Structure 1
Amino acid sequence: MYLFNVRVYGILLNESNEVLISDEKTQNVSFTKFPGGGLEYGEGLLDALKREFMEECALEIEIVKHIYTTDFYEKSSFNESQILSVYYQVRPLSAITFDVKVSPFDFSKEKQLDKVEVFRFVPIEKLRDEELTFKTDKKAWNVFKELIEP
């Protein structure tokens, strides 16, 4: 049996032209990605992305537009499933009230749970592919940059 893992992520820009990224640590592995997560059974992509932002950031979002859907094989880093990721540009519908870090992987004040996640904003012109852990995020970021360049 072949397992598929459908993921949905949001690329959020603030008023200062900075992009929101998430630094996470789970199963003793640290990684940087865009906010979002897995689709639950019976859920649509847009509803899943809105739920993920509420769960992770306590932030209501609006979907602006589709950016990218995985078009290559990607095996999960955590199990034997094949990853299918969909990326959307999103915008906040309310003020950002969650804690925003400055340094990568600043888990200093976070409870040491099985999974810990912190957020930071990075200026668009300074976010490089190498800072993103997963191949799908890197590809989506490059597609997004091409869409916003004049």
Structure 2
Amino acid sequence: MSYFNVRVYGLLIDPERGILISDEQSEGKRFSKFPGGGLELGEGLKDALKREFIEECATEIEVLEHFYTTDFYEKSSFNNSQILSIYYFVKELHPLDHLAFTNHPFDFGKNSNQSFRWIPLKDLKVSDVTFKTDQTVVERLLAQMDL
């Protein structure tokens, strides 16, 4: 059985540190992506994104403007679903001082399967993220910012 899998992600950009990337490990796979995740039944996109930031980053965000929605076919790397991803610019409502940031991908602490890092926009590359939709977002971000 195939079905749609709606995902929502936040582009959190700090002028001094860059853009926030989440490195994760799940089902034996490692991947780098923007913070966010799956829409739950009965949930709106913005509410889902706020929930995901609380779950992943333990912080509240304000959802700003829409940036991109998937406009091509992408099959999930984890199941038989078709991925539809929506990206918003977001800003944190409280400093993210409680998160332990790393400078290296997949630098997980003990008993952890997620780590966070900032990538300066001038250093951001398509290869910094794993999935095709995220890579498209990086391409569009770089083109828009004319870096």
TM-score by length of 2: 0.94
Q: What whole-Å deviation, never above 9, does each CA across 1:126-145 have from its counterpart, x for those lacking one?
A: 11001210000011122222
Structure-2 separation of matches of 1:2 and 1:103: 36
Q: What whole-Å deviation, never above 9, does each CA across 1:26-57 have from its counterpart, x for those lacking one?
A: 11110100000000000000000000000000
- Which structure 2 residues correspond to residues 1-150 of structure 1 after superposition, within 5 A? 1-96=1-96, 97-107=98-108, 109-111=109-111, 116-149=113-146
Structure-2 separation of matches of 1:94 and 1:149: 29
Structure-1 separation of matches of 2:120 and 2:12: 12
Structure-1 separation of matches of 2:41 and 2:34: 22
Q: Quote the sequence identity (%).
A: 52
After superposing the two structures, state which structure 1 stretch, 38-47 or 93-102, moved more.
93-102
Alpha-carbon contact 2:17-2:118 (below 8 Å) kept:
no
Q: CA RMSD in A?
A: 1.4
Structure-1 separation of matches of 2:2 and 2:79: 12
Q: What whole-Å deviation, never above 9, does each CA across 1:90-123 have from its counterpart, x for those lacking one?
A: 111101121111111101x2305xxx11100010
Q: Which 5+ residue runs of structure 1 have no aligned equivalent?
A: none
SS at match of 1:13: strand
